[in-house]
Amino acid sequence: DGGITQSPKYLFRKEGQNVTLSCEQNLNHDAMYWYRQDPGQGLRLIYYSQIVNDFQKGDIAEGYSVSREKKESFPLTVTSAQKNPTAFYLCASREVLAGGPGELFFGEGSRLTVL
């Protein structure tokens, strides 16, 4: 079945460590996104990519980094510079349509906890 796979589902990190969250899609979508979700807040955009080897900062990119070397993969690294990394992270993808917006399809999320 086509879909988006995020791993790991749960991750614990010590302060000062970098961690990488994986996101793989087999929907053949060009665009991929990373969102952060905190209780009582809407999803906030971290980074997005419209095409391989290109990506743009979202609204809260500080302390995060991404790469887009393959169409199917968009890993997110949470660096030690991110001051409050404990959150639920969601990866999404969508087809880029010439005639208008396409809906986002989401993975199941990764919950990161800093100890």
Kindly state the smallest distance separating residue 17's Cβ from other proteins, in Å: 24
- 3-state DSSP helix/strand/coil % of the chain, to nearest 5: 0, 50, 50
- CB count within 10 Å of CB 80 equals 14
- Residues contributing to the site for other proteins (CB under 8 A): 4, 6, 31, 35, 40-45, 48, 50, 58, 90, 92, 96, 100-101, 103-109, 111
Kindly state the smallest distance separating residue 80's Cβ from other proteins, in Å: 26
Kindly state the smallest distance separating residue 77's Cβ from other proteins, in Å: 20
- For other proteins, the closer of residues 49 and 82 by Cβ is 49
Report how far apart, in Å, the C-alpha atoms of 28 and of each of 24, 39, 88, 104 are.
11, 31, 25, 13
- For other proteins, the closer of residues 16 and 40 by Cβ is 40
Gap between the Cα atoms of 24 and 71, Å rounded? 9
- For other proteins, the closer of residues 80 and 106 by Cβ is 106
